[in-house]
Amino acid sequence: MVFHQVAAKGFNKVRRSVKGMSKGVGRDIGFTKAIITPERSNHIFSKKPGKLLDTKANRSLLIELSSNPKHLLGVDRFGVKWYAKINANGRQIYSTVNKKGEITGAGIHEIPRSFSKANGLRKKQTPK
């Protein structure tokens, strides 16, 4: 199996060619290198509770989290990918990634939440 790095629309997709396929044709295995756009930075990072500070370490943490398929919890009803992991201190760090590979949200849950296709990791919405 051969891995190829392919640049596409601001993020990288890793594709693999399977023996027997024609050269240059790969099968998408879902690995992406997520990006943080300047337009989303103010939403992703802040001093508010449950948010991360805008530091180089936190940016790297979110990109690593959002680019690692083992942290993918699933895709919600809007097509948003949800990634999360539990830190040594028991807190859940999460991120959301749109179809373009852009991190659209992130934060920390003091008490880890379960993923649902309807709401991702959001608190369940109560009927009005």
pTM surpassing 0.75?
no
% of the chain beyond a pLDDT of 70: 71
**Which range (15-29, 37-51, 80-94) has the least confidence?**
15-29
Strands (E), 56-118: 72-75, 81-86, 92-97, 103-109
Residue type, 19: K
Helix (H) or strand (E) holding 67, with range, is: helix 56-67
**29: pLDDT confidence band, cut at 50, 70 and 90?**
very low
CA 46-114-122 angle, 5° bins: 45
Partnered with residue 97 across adjacent β-strands are 81, 103
Per-residue model confidence as pLDDT tens digits over 79-110: 999 999 999 999 999 999 999 999 999 999 99
pLDDT at 9 over 90: no
